[in-house]
Structure 1
Amino acid sequence: MPMTEQILTHAKLVLDDEVVAGSLVIRNGCIAELDTAPSRHPAAIDCNGDYLLPGLVELHTDNMEKYFQPRPRVAWPPRQAALAHDAQMAASGITTVFDAVAIGDVNKTSVRHLALEAMCRAIDHIVDAGLARVDHRLHLRCEVSQPETLTRFRELADLPRLGLVSLMDHAPGQRQFASLEAYRTYYQGKYGLSDSELEVFVERQLTNSARYSAEHRRLIAAECHARGLALASHDDATLEHVAESHEYGTRVAEFPTTQAAAEASHRAGMAVMMGAPNVVRGGSHSGNIAAATLVEQGVLDILSSDYYPAALLDAVFRIAGMEAGYALPQAVATATRLPAEAVGLSDRGRLAEGLRADLLRVRLCDDHPLVVRVWASGRQVH
């Protein structure tokens, strides 16, 4: 058997529409063969009836930030931070990750603002040096209500790993913060502002939003299309938001906050993304629509781990176990095939001959999925 070939047998293969017992051959980093019969090759790896899934595809995670700033005012060396983040991705079964970095943060002392370029450079370094376990891409999150966002976007828009851009507006009275009272509670608690400081902060954000949001949204969307970059909306709440996103050619509707917005986005052909932590915790931590409700309506298309990488695989099996949930192949597709398709990656996300051998071996323990082994392009990374 060539050194570049591996055989996995006695596995439950999660295919597009069914789960079958069988074997899979990895050759030169790709899936070379699928068979419903067990392999008799003496060097075959016995999976002992575990599930074999495509590697997970993560479109939106700000997990990297916590490694660059593990505590307030504590900066971690960039390469070590990037490698620790990369290792957690692999251990969570995520073989393709769009690392989310944000421009236009309201707090100019935040890790998002101060470490933006360091995070991008560190990912480039570990990938170019052959140190990364998984495939890293960039997701640029654009806070359209901030004055510097368009300029910073243009500085970063031609980064070779950039593949997804999302348009956000976290200004008071908008989307996630339709309630001004909720906005005040959140930011006063987050930054420790006095009542008078908070009023100045709110007024500044309202002024910026009125001045910049619409123009930045329009111009950034146009420049994304010119570059062939996939575009995502963020926290759409109303039918008007959805119509605007559709007009701009949005492919992914990130975290719609209402059932009406989610259903309208799905009808318009946008892939509706919800947070896996929402599934695992049984609802939104901010009081928005529960992901489980969208599963029951059949309009949840993509899962994202968001802020907790291990939640992604857990959520897949949870929605497969819901009474009105998805069959396992459909549930798996929300974290593999569908996110890959949404950003134009046709070489991964499925167990099919000729595709990348990004694979995940999973064992159920008391209905909880445990990651046993992970392969990225045929190389075992966990």
Structure 2
Amino acid sequence: MTAGSDVILDRMMALHPKVIDLVLDRVWRLLDALDNPQDNLPPVIHIAGTNGKGSTQAMIRAGLEATGKRVHAFTSPHLVRFHERIRLAGDLISEPDLTEVLEECYRANGGHDITYFEITTCAALLAMARIPADYTLLEVGLGGRLDATNVIEKPALTIVTPVSIDHEQFLGDTLAKIAGEKAGIIKRGVPCVVGPQTDEAMDVIEATAARLGAPLIASGQHWHAFEDRDRLVFQDESGLLDLPLPNLPGAHQIQNAGAALAALRHLRMGDAAYEAAVTKADWPARMQRLKSGPLVEIAPSVELWLDGGHNPAAGQALAAHLAHLPLRETHLICGMLNTKDIAGYLSPMAPHVASLTAVSIPKEANTLPADVTAASAAQAGIPAEVAGSVRDAVQAIAAHSPNARILICGSLYLAGSVLRENG
């Protein structure tokens, strides 16, 4: 049976001819009609960046909740159900609450042009303004400066995770331009935690912060995070933390944890928060090991992993992680959107994988055709073939390599499809 929220979400898809149209006018108009819920949120931590936004948010939430704080959180996209995007005081939004705020926003919008992300962001802000909490975590959807979440006049803290090339058609064709869009969340006088950056991106972030009088808490300057003897060491002006390695897999999570810890230290949350941030964060489809479900059952001896990263920086992070895993023949099942730099994504992984099976992303209009993905893999030096589905690909790989490692990767939309199929 179709949920009431699904019906309204389908209606909302038709309110604007474009999926992405980066201006804030429509958002301000609707928020005004809703009596400006963004002005009544618990203290906001606003997070932008190319990679690591969601993981960093998940770690901050785990840390805050370990100290008894009630935390709202907004993230995108969802993997299985829209409800994943909105957490109210720790819990996913209920179907009745979601239906109510979506209906309210749809009526208040009065049929005007507005994108799906804009109107659903307004619905999230409306829901979060109505329930008491201690903090609100807002993850930027795209960019920052003109993102629908960038409507908070005075957040408690902003965070810019690593900036790299992605979404050039919307954010600009240089690292400096993209960093300028991400730095658009920095607010006058509000401290900003900054993850590791290239010099080009950091120059832009520093210039923006200087213009706005926003104190920076920057990686490599004000805090350091690194692995030492299978422990995470975090150091800032307050001293040193010796913690377990992050429970989210991958060497790149060390720096995401560093940004989360820098934020929690700024908020003076204490040791319980710091420990929980690295041991209790939950963030599906980021090097997630699938251990049960129909896909696992058809190939029980295969080691099955899922990741939704989709740009060159994500490819580099995956390559580094594969290089550190115990030696095992590794095969990719890959499906990507046609807006992504597939060569930049696959090239770093080529030395670490035995083959790639290309799939099209189910029910996704902007999927890259599987044969194009396979051709790109071959150009990157990865033996490639095509399958009709992820399930077919898993079966085929398991048939000739029953003890292989399989990584399903290339898109959060593919990851969501896999999680739905795998129950």
**Where on the TM-score scale, by shorter chain, does this alignment land: which range?**
under 0.3
More helix by share: 2
User: Relative contact order, CA 8 A, sep 6+: which one is greater?
Assistant: 1
TM-score (norm 1): 0.27
Give TM-score, length-normalised by structure 2.
0.25
